[in-house]
A and B are shown apart, each in its own frame.
Chain A
């Protein structure tokens, strides 16, 4: 299993050609209390950087960008009923969607955990 991160604070865990996408702990902390999540529907074809999901706090809505290109296989339905899961378990239970990667080489453009941690540290 490989985990990679974007500068926009999404994470993707990849096994073979199957990826799982969510937002980082830094992102959930910055957004504050999450009150609504709209994950993508299965079958949706995403290009890297596309708006893939919506996450809303009391004060604003934010787009989640797809870290890589691929076809969505499942959106996390649990988030519709429990949006606060994004605050409680951002990098585990509160995954947003799973997809089949169509261009795995895109992962090379993303950061590993150490690089992302250093990147976040630089933002503070």
Chain B
């Protein structure tokens, strides 16, 4: 059978010629190995795809208790200026000027065609200071983009000396409660500067699993201390990238590079909700012409949830056909949803096929499998709204 030398599955990726010497590591590398993490290359980093518990167990544990994720490979930066929100609005379609101090918003960088260069989290630390978290695979390009477009007018600082941990799950608030003042009451999509065991942290109530949770930016040299502290608290287990992917897929959240990329607009990607009312009226971001037109007239294709009706998972790049067998789109993320206890997928279909319940066919290993458009998320979100 096909077993990938990197990840022990038939993932068909080319193994790196010399993975050990070419990969970057996060500040938690030694801890991952001590915990038995199976390390794989991801966005240039050695990252744990799973621990001995396994993807299925880690996924279910996160939905029932609390999981700790190392997401230190992601990029962190601050933008300081008199009005950094006005500057950043030149690059993203979100309402950043309307973001209050202490609040966090999901957005995207767009290109001149309205395509998505990356998705990111934007937090307002102070009237003159924004904090950004971007994807690992895009971070060099993102920071160059920020520097090129805003560098003369803002102080852009890449926080390469900070790690990022995510604590996710219904028990996350209980775990954090003892660690800093107001942890339990902190609303979803807000940021706090807080000391945890004497470590200065930037803590957002957010995540990528659909569960309640926190993302904690921590100085790199204190990351292992904080991770060990969290893992020592009741119900917290380490979770790898495998479960991170199945959790976010069930939650209907986009993976950049798969579900959204430079060829998809925010409207096509079904994340038009990130475009604030004022921005819809005024534009003023790259590709606004295209995006504004799609907002008014509809996009030619849309990202939708897809439920295969049988048990067979349909993975990314599976062709989607109509009932006549004509190819109408492609699965962009797909697999087995442990909480759904069945296969789940997302992909792009023409607008006429986007209504929930629309029957589709998925071409899996030469067979047309029955499927239907399904509402997202597959598993209800459990965010803490305060």
Contact = CB atoms under 8 A, between A and B. Distances in A.
B1 A61 contact: no
Interface stretch (B50-58, B61-69, B129-137, B197-205): B50-58
Interface string A1-12: 000000011100
B119 to A, nearest CB: 22
B345 to A, nearest CB: 13
A46 interface: no
B336 interface: yes
A32 B50 contact: yes
A62 B3 contact: yes
Contacts, number: 86
A80 B59 contact: no
A61 B313 contact: yes
A109 B335 CA distance: 36
A23 interface: yes
A97 B180 CA distance: 57
A64 B2 CA distance: 7
B313 A9 contact: no
A95 B213 CA distance: 42
A112 B291 CA distance: 63
A10 to B, nearest CB: 6
A122 B59 CA distance: 32
A64 B246 CA distance: 24
Contacts of A60: 4, 7, 9-11, 315
A58 B56 contact: yes
A58 B246 contact: yes
Contacts of B245: 59
A64 to B, nearest CB: 5
Contact of A55 (B1, B59, B335): B1
Nearest to B243: A58
Nearest to A56: B313
A59 B49 contact: yes
A32 B56 contact: yes
Given A36-B312, A58-B335, A27 B55 contact: no
Tell which of B2, B57, B59 has the most Cβ of chain A within 10 Å: B2
Contacts of B14: none
B8 interface: yes
A105 interface: no
Given A54-B365, A57-B9, A59-B245, A10 B1 contact: yes
A88 to B, nearest CB: 13
A74 interface: no
A77 interface: no
Interface string B1-28: 1111001111100000000000000000
Nearest to A96: B1
B235 interface: no
B313 A36 contact: yes
A54 B338 CA distance: 19
Given A9-B3, A32-B56, A35-B313, A61 B10 contact: yes
A118 interface: no
Nearest to A60: B9
Contact of B336 (A54, A55, A58, A62): A58
A33 interface: yes
B311 interface: yes
Given A9-B1, A56-B336, A80 B9 contact: no
B285 to A, nearest CB: 36
Tell which of B4, B55, B315 has the most Cβ of chain A within 10 Å: B55
Given A59-B7, A59-B49, A61-B10, A36 B311 contact: yes
Given A30-B8, A56-B313, 20 more contacts: A8-B2, A10-B1, A31-B3, A31-B9, A32-B55, A32-B56, A33-B54, A33-B56, A36-B343, A56-B336, A58-B55, A58-B243, A58-B335, A59-B335, A60-B9, A61-B9, A62-B2, A63-B1, A64-B1, A65-B2
Interface of B: 1-4, 7-11, 49-50, 54-57, 59, 242-243, 245-246, 311-313, 315, 335-336, 338, 343, 365
Interface of A: 8-10, 23, 27, 30-33, 35-36, 38, 54-65, 80
Complex A-B, nearest 5 residue pairs according to Cβ-Cβ distance, in ascending order: A60-B9, A62-B10, A33-B56, A30-B8, A35-B336
15 contacts: A10-B1, A30-B9, A32-B8, A32-B242, A33-B55, A38-B365, A56-B336, A58-B338, A59-B11, A59-B50, A60-B4, A60-B10, A60-B315, A62-B9, A64-B1
